[in-house]
Structure 1
């Protein structure tokens, strides 16, 4: 079996490394706009060779699209155009409604599987890839009824074989839920980073005073803007709704602090502490 990885970065590279551990004889071809990334993927053993897009697709049983979501949208019709009969293309994008709409308009829609691994770090590029990223994490497959059964089975088997837990949603459900549990947290980190940088002009002071709490909260602000700006744009309606709800709670917190209303502040935080039980329950699944 030959798998092409379009975008040999964190997700695509980590997927390849995990599958390689399970199936050492599987062949991987890298496709990347950056020659440096291609060479690094070769050196790190993520791929066996690097090829131009049409040549790689022509030789592939499975094509993995692991680029930023705006590039997935622009490349998906071309990938489907070149896709051989019996082959499958799978995307790993963090939004799904727009990507699925592009796929729906193509005559080879059934050869496409929409997937999203719920895993990542604030780092990017093939140098950030590691085989432990995906095992044990959740994978969402969207609109599987529109994909060929053989294509879905192949995708499910590979992800289960590397230890992922599978869930199924519509593209609309996916984008709604991700706006709250993923996209909002990244915006919060970016906004916190901007706030601190604006107020603390002396960056050495930030470094000296930063606690582990600050570091963990603002960690996501180190994420790739090239990846996240298109995500916010494609999911802008849901993200805007999530931001509205979040800003309302921030305004309420500000009000109780301004009013020295310690009882209400305490009550807010006690309500928020319920998230610990929710997250602990998810981790035990």
Structure 2
């Protein structure tokens, strides 16, 4: 099988390495607008060949769009135009509704499977990719009824080979859920990082006094702005709703602390402890 990976960063690179580690008979054609990333991906064995987008797509059985979501929004219709009749295209975007709407009327819509692997780290680029990133991580597929059976079956088989559990949902439902469980946590981490950096001008103090709690909470603030900025924009309505609820909770904490109402803060924290029932 010939797989064209467009965007040779963390997710695209890890997908390619994961397939190779599973001994899947695959040739990876790499495409990246960044020459350094293309060279790094080739040197690491992520891509077997580096080609132009058009040449790689024309040769591929499967095309993977692993670029930022604003780029995917423009690439998806254009790549579908060039896609061979027997090929399939997937994307790894963290938003789905706008992407699905962009190709809803495309004559090759049924060759597209809208996917989102629930995996990642705070690092980016080909050097951050590793073969086990997707192992055991859930792959969400949206609007599966709009994908032709052969394309859907191919994607499902590859996910099974990577030991990725599958979940299916509408695109709008996906974006609403991820505004709360993913996008909000990234904004929270970015905001915490900004708050501390603004207060603690002496960076040595931050590193000397930061404990594991701070480090784990602010870890996501190291994530790529080029990737996350477009996600917040594309999912802005859901993200704004999630932020409004989060800000209201923060304000309630502030008011309780200002009032020295320790019983209320304890009650709020005890209620939040119920998250254990979900996360274990």
* TM-score grouping bracket, smaller chain normalisation: over 0.9
Query: Counterpart of 1:214?
Result: 214
1:78-93 maps to which residues of 2 (within 5 A)?
A: 78-93=78-93
1:155-201 superposed Cα distances (whole Å, 9 cap, x missing partner)? 01101111101000000000000000000000000000010011111
1:232 matched residue in structure 2: 232
Q: Over residues 129-174 of structure 1, what are the superposed CA-to-partner deviations in whole Å (9 max), with x where a residue is unaligned?
A: 0111101111100001001110000001101111101000000000
String of CA shifts for 1:82-122, please: whole Å, max 9, x gaps.
10011001001000000001121311101000000011000
SS at match of 2:140: strand
2: distance between equivalents of 1:137 and 1:155?
15
Greater Cα shift, 174-183 or 76-85:
76-85
Distance 1:272 1:266 in 2: 10
CA drift at 1:243: 0.2
Equivalent residue number for residue 114 of structure 2? 114
Q: 2: distance between equivalents of 1:274 and 1:215?
A: 23
| Secondary structure at the counterpart of residue 3 of structure 1 | strand
The 2-side partners of 1:218 and 1:267 are apart by 25
* Alignment match, 1:95: 95
Cα displacement (A) at 1:276: 1.6
Which residue is 1:42 aligned to?
42
CA distance in 1, matches of 2:21, 2:194: 40
Across the aligned residues of Structure 1 and Structure 2, the Cα RMSD in angstroms comes to 0.7
Q: Secondary structure at the match of 1:63?
A: strand
User: Aligned ranges for residues 172-191 of structure 1 at < 5 Å?
Assistant: 172-191=172-191
Distance 1:147 1:136 in 2: 24
Map 1:117-266 to 2 at 5 A. 117-266=117-266
Q: Please list every run of 5 or more consecutive structure 2 residues that lacks an aligned counterpart in the other structure.
A: none
Shift of the alpha carbon at 1:274?
Answer: 1.0
- Aligned-partner Cα distance in 2 for 1:105–1:28: 30
Partner of 1:283 in structure 2?
Answer: none
Counterpart CA distance in 1 for 2:55 and 2:34 is: 17
For residues 118 and 130 of structure 1, the distance between their equivalents in structure 2, rounded to whole angstroms, comes to 15
By how many angstroms is 1:78 displaced? 1.2
How many Å apart are 1:204 and its aligned residue?
Answer: 1.1
Please state whether the residue corresponding to 1:11 is helix, strand or coil: helix
Structure 1 moving runs of 4+ over 6 Å: none
Alignment deviations for residues 31-78 of structure 1 (CA, whole Å, 9 cap, x no partner): 000111011111111110100000000000000000000000111111
**Which runs of 5 or more residues in structure 1 are unaligned?**
281-285
